[in-house]
Amino acid sequence: MTVSRYHPALVVLHWLLALMLMVALAMGSLVLEKLPNTDPEKITALRGHMIAGGLVALLMLARLVVRLRTAHPPALCTGIAWADRLAGPAHALLYGLVFLMAASGIALSLTTGLPQVVFLGQGALPASFDGLTPRAVHGVASKLLLLAIALHIGAALYHALVRRDGIMARMGLGRR
């Protein structure tokens, strides 16, 4: 069966995750990174960031399952050979970076005892997260994810505004 759009669950998860990722990335880089660990607001900010990150990880797993189990439109030939070859790996990179962010966040959390501090009020935050390998991975992965998202948005806008090839309709709701 050939379909012209992605499964509605995949579409909803795509746009929901897009919003959640932008909020989590902004929270991490614009709020958490700037708050010292001695600031009482840090725990509240970490709690929100950890909950959002956990939800993103669960929804990404759900998205992957839906993606693997549903029919999806065939790959488009855009007329740009190198772009056609990069489309699949670029999307896989987005998935990989999101899962790397989740894994490194979980590793950082467990390494520093954050669940007890943030959710149970037991103990205190470490003086700093700097120098911890999971924190370094989380930081680098966040920058790479931001870059990959920017390229993804740029490519979508290029298809929508320059090529006008209808590729954006595939990630919209409507008849499949």
Q: Does 2 map to a domain?
A: no
| pLDDT value, residue 176 | 58
> pTM of the entire structure?
0.91
Q: How many domains does the chain have?
A: 1
The per-residue pLDDT for 116 is 97
- Domain range for residue 93? 8-171
Residue 175 has pLDDT above 80, yes or no: no
Q: Looking at the domain assignment, is residue 71 inside a domain?
A: yes
| Range of lowest pLDDT (5-9, 79-83, 109-113, 146-150) | 79-83
pLDDT at 90 over 90: yes
CB-CB contact of 56 with 99 (8 Å):
no
Q: Is residue 176 part of a domain?
A: no
pLDDT tens track for 123-164: 999 999 999 999 999 999 999 999 999 999 999 998 889 988
| Whether 74 contacts 105, CB under 8 Å | no
**Residue of 98, 27, 106, 22 lying closest to 60 (CA atoms):** 98
User: Does the residue 150 lie in any domain?
Assistant: yes
Reading phi first (left if > 0) and then psi (alpha if -120 to 50, else beta), residue 124 is in: beta
Note whether residue 108 is domain-resident. yes
Residue 119 pLDDT exceeds 80: yes
Specify if 146 maps to a domain: yes
The mean pLDDT of the chain is 93
CA distance 127 to 130: 9
